[in-house]
Chain A
């Protein structure tokens, strides 16, 4: 029992930009699904997946919304792949102050993909379901829970702190921290 590693499910959407025909059906069905009541309204501006589209430059990148970022990055990225220059932050999934992507158009509140969480559970997120060109493929896989590895990493970190400040000092600080958390 003890030796058995813990497992968890990772859900991912494999995005094949070469297969995207740029139709934005993913945006359509996402905004419909997440309206309230369900499917009652349509508005791609509320969608949690957007296709970054520049047909003449052959750029078609479906990006789905990730975490909300309070502040923008100190530096921004701009990719050139196979001679195609992508928009600034094109591949980033964050709802971030630097751009208007993944925000409710009225309130500005951030949007985040929830993989179409619903009861009963859907087989696949709807953007994947509606992409008949297979630019979006849903994958679910079981992976080892990374707890053990993290334990190791923590030890390495603490050891370097102990080396720098001395084990005594470190122990005192930890004791103080746990005291204040209890209090």
Chain B
């Protein structure tokens, strides 16, 4: 018997309409865990580097994490992996909600889509009954609307539905997949779903998920719940409120937005408004949020309340979480009332809440600067808010200028030319980033931004405090019960870290320490993504209930796979390397690994070079970011080394500068 996982994947060939239930190899679980790990293995094995995002040979994989469907609190992530139309690299966006556990109860760990359906369909999974069904009546429907329509039509109120909106159907490069209060937004995976002709996947399951050592596993879960309770009652002192507790940043709960509105950038990630937050704004925005918010809600089996149901007057109710509360407001230089209203439409269309507002602000900047002209915006209203609604409508329908903007700021700028690329200034690896522009280089964040292959900072950072405490008392207080650290050396780094002087940024933590910190933070995220754990209870917040010391027990007692910290660390390294291998085979190199030029005002080129050199070495990669033969063999990834060899990847010259423009040219 298989524990925690079901041991079966659903393979659906949309071109031929063929559906198969395929048993998986338990050895793969041991090596790559599940979720992201086994997704990466499948993509490496089956999707060649020549395969484009919109090729029928591209796969779209919906995976339930290894521990989803078990009682582990907060374990509910669906990891969606494919090739991104925007970055042309591997995309692995995730969503919370209720879909992944339901898939397990239906008897599957993954749904793997290949080929393309000739017409719009939806997939119905009800235990052993799996059907591809006509979805022509759902064409053009909103992503939230579609979920409701399908549940009603099928008379299955308990079914969980993942759906795309108009943006996905029209292959917008930042289209999302929406499900309940959650969405898998980054990397344009909704566009791949639309390209495959799949409007929605409906899941209903009533089967058992089995545990290897039931009573012992339950005790671990109870300990986690107890610790969550403790952390909820004991927020971390001396940090801003959104960093003090567990869960996603509690944007639905808090009213005080001084920090975000005055430190994050407005417009096309351009303007800092240092005195924005005042009593009048606070009063108005608090009133808006109080009226809009019906209830704070959560994902499956989680006591937190990171999301909310939002009802704006005259608009259908929708669900929201985290920072999308402010992205539209700030891109449009408007108010919260506007932000919450346009987010309703954007959620129905199914677009990423980071990229979409930025793309629209970028377009208006191009108009202001004469790179685009009024002719490109014919019919656009003159009022500020109206412009954004108009642009959103054009983008998701790919009408006029919207057709170009639908490819995101990087590709739109390439197409528009005429200096437009200077305005696509907030991308990493062609993907829009948080609107942050800061003063002095932070070496830890430099490494995370540069080398992160999630290409989204919030899903790489966590664990280690973002800034030092000014007094030794505060630092001692923090490290005293900081048992989540993999090694006590991290406590010492924190104790020695000063806001100013010799032991302060950018020279302290030292390069070596930065490597350790970044590696730890990244590792925890990768483990979460294989197990299906919400990073809000694990890799993202300070002092989380899940950590490197209790995770091995969860895996041994839950899935029945013998595990310890070292073996788990090696597994995470293995599939993290596979993600990199996929991207390397797709042309990613050192030259692509850099934060936006203007992310920090004060840069330190020599230090940055040293950071990257050292981190690459630390990770077992060569100086161009390619995993070395020796490291691959050590990780049991000899087959990757062979493929690299065959493809001549190792025989490329070591000098990164000589191929500065190669990917740009080959993708044009």
Q: Please tell me which one of the listed residues B208, B229, B317 contacts residue A43 in the complex, with CB atoms under 8 A apart.
A: B208
Measured CB to CB, the closest approach of chain B to A44, in angstroms, equals 7
Q: Which residues of A contact B298 (CB under 8 A)?
A: 21-23
Q: Using A32-B71, A35-B208 as known contacts, say yes or no to A43 and B300 having CB atoms under 8 A apart.
A: no
Measured CB to CB, the closest approach of chain A to B160, in angstroms, equals 11
Stretch at the interface among B302-310, B395-403, B478-486: B302-310
Stretch at the interface among A1-9, A52-60, A66-74, A169-177: A52-60
Contact B209 A41 (CB under 8 A): yes
Interface residues on B, range: 35 or more
Q: Using A55-B297, A56-B309 as known contacts, say yes or no to A25 and B303 having CB atoms under 8 A apart.
A: yes
Contact A132 B211 (CB under 8 A): no
Contact B317 A42 (CB under 8 A): no
Q: Please tell me which one of the listed residues A39, A56, A133 contacts residue B317 in the complex, with CB atoms under 8 A apart.
A: A56
Q: Which residues of B contact A23 (CB under 8 A)?
A: 297-303
Q: Please tell me which one of the listed residues A40, A41, A43, A56 contacts residue B206 in the complex, with CB atoms under 8 A apart.
A: A43
What residue in chain A is nearest B102 (Cβ atoms)?
A: A44
Measured CB to CB, the closest approach of chain A to B243, in angstroms, equals 21
B211-233 contacts to A, CB under 8 A, are 211, 214-215, 217-218, 225, 228-229, 232
Q: How many contacts between A and B, using CB within 8 angstroms?
A: 99
Query: How long is the Cα–Cα vector from A96 to B151 in the complex, in angstroms?
Result: 22
Number of interface residues of A (CB under 8 A): 32
A1-52 contacts to B, CB under 8 A, are 21-25, 28-29, 32, 35, 37-46
Contact A44 B297 (CB under 8 A): no
Contact A55 B71 (CB under 8 A): no
- Determine whether B532 belongs to the interface, using a CB cutoff of 8 Å to chain A: no
Q: Which residues of A contact B301 (CB under 8 A)?
A: 23-25, 28
Q: Which residues of A contact B214 (CB under 8 A)?
A: 32, 35, 37-40
Q: Which residues of A contact B296 (CB under 8 A)?
A: 21
Q: Which residues of A contact B157 (CB under 8 A)?
A: 53-54, 87
Contact B181 A42 (CB under 8 A): no
> Which residue, A22, A37, A44, has most C-beta atoms of chain B within 10 A?
A22
- Determine whether A130 belongs to the interface, using a CB cutoff of 8 Å to chain B: yes
Q: Which residues of A contact B218 (CB under 8 A)?
A: 32, 39
B312-355 contacts to A, CB under 8 A, are 316-319
- Determine whether B570 belongs to the interface, using a CB cutoff of 8 Å to chain A: no
Query: How long is the Cα–Cα vector from A42 to B296 in the complex, in angstroms?
Result: 26
Question: Beta-carbon contacts of A114-146 to B below 8 Å, as 1s and 0s?
Answer: 000000000000000011110000000000000
Q: Please tell me which one of the listed residues B69, B297, B303, B316 contacts residue A42 in the complex, with CB atoms under 8 A apart.
A: B69
Query: How long is the Cα–Cα vector from A55 to B311 in the complex, in angstroms?
Result: 11
Contact A58 B309 (CB under 8 A): yes
Residues of A at the B interface (CB closer than 8 Å) are 21-25, 28-29, 32, 35, 37-46, 53-58, 60, 87, 105, 130-133
Residues of B at the A interface (CB closer than 8 Å) are 69-71, 73, 98, 105, 144, 148, 157, 180-181, 205-211, 214-215, 217-218, 225, 228-229, 232, 294-305, 309, 316-319
